Amino acid sequence: MGKFTVTFFPDEKSVDVEEGTRIAEAAQQAEVFINNLCGGEGVCGGCKVQVTAGTAEAEEHALGLLSDDEIASGYVLACQTEIHDDLDIFIPPETRMEDAQIMTGEAAAISRSEEDKPLVRKIFLELPPPTLEDNIADIERISRELRRKLGWHSYDIHLECLKGLSEKLRDSDWKVTVTVAKDRDRYRIQRIEPLDTTTRNYGVAVDVGTTTVVIQLIDIHSKEVLGVEGSHNLQASYGEDVISRMIFACGRGGLDPLHEAIIKNINQLIEKLAEKTNVLRDDINAIVAAGNTTMSHFLLGLTPCSIRLEPYVPTADEYPQVPAKDLGIRISPNGFLETIPSVASYVGGDIVAGVMSCGIADHPEVKGLIDIGTNGEIAIGNNEWLVCCSASAGPAFEGGGTRCGMRAIKGAIEKIEIANGKVNYQTIGKAPARGICGSGLIDSIHELVRNGIIGADGKFHRTLKDDRLAVEDDIPQYTIAYGEETETGEPVVITESDIDNLMKSKGAVFAAIKSLVDYIGLSFDQIDTFYVAGGFGNFLNIPKAVSIGLLPDIPREKIQFIGNSSLTGARMSLLSEGALEKCVNISRSMTNIELSNYQPFMDEYIAALFLPHTDRKLFPSVTY
């Protein structure tokens, strides 16, 4: 197998990859980010790219997503096309992330479930009609045939499924489709339909994020992702972060508005996707949701009030499977919601789903997951043990708490390079700049230190001669984009107190990682891989994140940005009862280290408030 060089335009970024690598993976390695709406399933057509030099052939089944003109011009789907030649690839504007596509990405490499037993299965049965010699009850006739086909032994039955069953069987000449759902260690017959409807079996995976709610509509029969939609969490009007929403819910506001907001989010997104894909909501049989512990409580209508205060106790870590209609979620009347279990108040089902999706608990190698948002959650372990912790990182990486910070949406500056007093930046959607998102802030700190504009303590060298450097109200600030370049006419700047906030955030995340690695008695080089997930849109410059001291300084190939691993885990759990079982086992076996009064964490935090760190030995590869 040879190696080939792929160069992406207009960025002109090159990367060397093994033969057979897909273009999307090469782009990821080159840190060129492209749409990955369907998670690499080749169904959304969102990752169209143009091959301008070299030969690459579009997968046959992807051709339906490309016009004749596009095929003639060398367009292929990046997620489906393998590399067997040196290539030049142009990424058209529409393949870049757009506003509506926030946080929907997943790493293609881990998005496929190998299991073949979805959480809800449809089984077509042709039953032998009863005779005097064989006149067992109708439902027993169905169970008997299910046992013959599936080898299971006992089925719970919804009373609703028994109502009218007698007529249904006889009217459909004993040919029916049975929907069988898994609920922990039991199987339940949840629906019986006349004739063969096995191809109409859909499910929804939901990532209930504090900031954004993302759903995927999945054809369970074909295991294809039919579409993805995201929207801002409607709870935002009751508070920007989980803490303020908890205060609202536990004060005069009450729980209901927050519960109803998230149900509305989910209903709106399902309606939108169902319409787009011509799927009947009545054929959606299951929803699997992953979210942090507070979001899971809001989703199910459980009080989160004791989560917020020491000793941080949730109502539940494992949640019952609930009829969707009991929550007002509009899918099939017999459909249900399964919520991925949590570990503790600040380590939720999103982390559990993420750990499961990365396969951390499957192999003897020690691996870690770092999920960076308002909280930084870290999980480390292997197939024998799992530990985790959570640290409050503040909203800086999600665009809060900084002067010009914003979420990773259109117009956000996501990449910055500073050289010779000049600033090159790139915005999401190539739109006029509106602010800086998390990945842009990481870039900017790196660039400011590298160019000697700020020191290792995060303070500006006030005496420096630089047109972009100014002091306002005694706070130094640096202009990234001048007013004439921006949408509003206001300059986009980064201030010393912004940098201070960012240092606290990155310090908290790194201290949590370091404390956890120390706690288990390992060193960084004994960790096989760190998967990084979080609210950076589809993009994170890992070397720069290392160089500012956010991520540990280990070989680059040991750190993988995996996007929305919570959504991946939810989808895998929908498509595989084994995957959901793994989530339950992970949530039960993971040991949570409470950092809130853990002295080593405090010490690590103080030590990490430096760029990259007060202990330079921890960051040998960082050159400034």
Residues that bind a copy of itself in the complex, under the rule CB under 8 A: 130-132, 134-140, 156-159, 162-167, 170, 186, 300-306, 310-320, 322, 326, 342, 344-345, 594, 596-597
Nearer to a copy of itself by Cβ, of 36 and 345: the residue is: 345
Nearer to a copy of itself by Cβ, of 1 and 159: the residue is: 159
CB 315 to a copy of itself: min, Å: 5
CB 564 to a copy of itself: min, Å: 26
Instruction: Order the strands of the 322-323 sheet from edge to edge.
Output: 224-232, 212-219, 202-208, 284-291, 336-339, 322-323
Burial of 1 (0-12, 13-18, 19+ CB in 10 A): exposed
CB 305 to a copy of itself: min, Å: 6
The 8-class DSSP code of residue 486 comes to B
Contact yes or no for 85/56 (Cβ under 8 A): yes
CB 265 to a copy of itself: min, Å: 19
Nearer to a copy of itself by Cβ, of 329 and 554: the residue is: 329
Nearer to a copy of itself by Cβ, of 342 and 501: the residue is: 342
Residue with tokens 């009862």: 577
CB 314 to a copy of itself: min, Å: 5
Nearer to a copy of itself by Cβ, of 345 and 560: the residue is: 345
Nearer to a copy of itself by Cβ, of 68 and 133: the residue is: 133
CA angle 378, 233, 269 (to 5 degrees): 110
Nearer to a copy of itself by Cβ, of 348 and 381: the residue is: 348
Nearer to a copy of itself by Cβ, of 304 and 368: the residue is: 304
CB 375 to a copy of itself: min, Å: 17
Question: How far is it, in rounded angstroms, from Cα 105 to Cα 522?
Answer: 32
Question: How far is it, in rounded angstroms, from Cα 566 to Cα 391?
Answer: 18
Contact yes or no for 436/405 (Cβ under 8 A): yes
Three-state SS string over 363-427 comes to CCCCEEEEEECCEEEEEEECCCCEEEEEEECCCHHHCCCCCCECCCCCCEEEEEEEECCEEEEEE
Contact yes or no for 343/354 (Cβ under 8 A): no
Nearer to a copy of itself by Cβ, of 249 and 358: the residue is: 249
3-state helix, strand, coil in the chain (%, to 5): 35, 25, 40
DSSP string, 522-550: --GGG--EEEEEESSTT---HHHHHHTTS
- HSE of 581, CA atoms in CB hemisphere, 13 A: 13
CB 297 to a copy of itself: min, Å: 9
Nearer to a copy of itself by Cβ, of 218 and 300: the residue is: 300
CB 583 to a copy of itself: min, Å: 16
CB 392 to a copy of itself: min, Å: 16
Task: Tell me the torsion sign for CA atoms 122, 215, 351, 542.
Answer: positive
Q: Residue 373: which residues within 8 A CB-CB, separation 6 or more?
A: 209, 210, 211, 393, 397, 398, 534, 535
- HSE of 360, CA atoms in CB hemisphere, 13 A: 35
Question: How far is it, in rounded angstroms, from Cα 577 to Cα 579?
Answer: 5
Residue with tokens 């057509």: 45
CB 318 to a copy of itself: min, Å: 8
